[in-house]
Amino acid sequence: MKLHHLLLLSLLAAPMAPAAMTVVQFDGGPQTLTGPGSMAVTGDLPVTYGTVSSYGLAAIPGGNPTVMSFAAPGLANSQGLTFTHGTPSPNTTGYTILMDVYYSSIPNYVSLLQLDNADDGDLFGRESGAIGISGSYSGTGFTANAWHRVAFTMSGAQDNMQIYVDGVLANGTTSPSAAGRYDLSDPTFLVFGDEDGETAAGYIGLFGFDDRAYSPLEIAALGGTSVIPEPAGATLLGGVAALGLLTRRRGARR
């Protein structure tokens, strides 16, 4: 088990978190560490695997984990990463999607999610550092040449979305029109897909899905991409603080 997943696993272990959380790592292929979901490379999307340093990427604090490099996905549902959430009622309970991503270059639009697997992407980052959808873009933190932990939460009514970059709220909106667009009745959705090629080559180190919308406090505790849980996160998660301490001790011995 890679140390850079302990932050999400700590949240899973907390009393306030349900057992349905899926955490996927990318060590030689998408591998489910915990939870009912699964991920697979779709189509002939070119991917490779290597450590952060082997790709010459900005370092991840605390270590040198294995990540996946992917080419710019093709059109529509022909290429991308297909995630099967494996949960019975995300449209009732709400849901949270997390990913640790890195882009060496960000075009005017880059799709991060395509929930219906057929048409326009449903979450985009932009060259300006903004993130959002449908003309509602804000923030400046989604930058190139840096690792970012993106968190996307949707309420049970599917009309209140919150988008965070590195634990900080970048965009939040309430829209009745979002209900259909962000419905997860389909058991699968595409990561990085788009119907007209608004995609880019990049890297992913972690993916997570839970069938409830995390609170701003929980997202803040997850923070940005890291190998070792931050002290604030361990404090918030109470009963798992010892796990973070143990991780640091193990890291110090390596």
* Tens digit of each residue's pLDDT, the chain (254 residues): 444 445 555 555 444 444 568 999 999 999 999 999 999 998 889 999 999 999 999 999 888 999 999 999 876 567 899 999 998 878 777 899 999 999 999 999 999 998 876 678 889 999 999 999 887 899 999 999 999 999 999 987 767 889 999 999 999 876 655 667 788 888 999 999 887 888 999 999 999 999 999 999 999 999 988 764 443 433 333 332 333 333 333 333 33
Which range of residues forms the domain containing residue 114?
3-253
Contact 200, 176 (CB under 8 A): no
CATH number at residue 173: 2.60.120.200
Global pTM reads 0.84
Structural domain tally of the chain? 1
Residue 56, Ramachandran bin (φ over 0: left; ψ between -120 and 50: alpha; else beta): left
**Phi, psi (degrees; rounded to nearest 5) at 23:** -125, 125
Whole-angstrom distance, CA of residue 100 vs CA of residue 2: 14
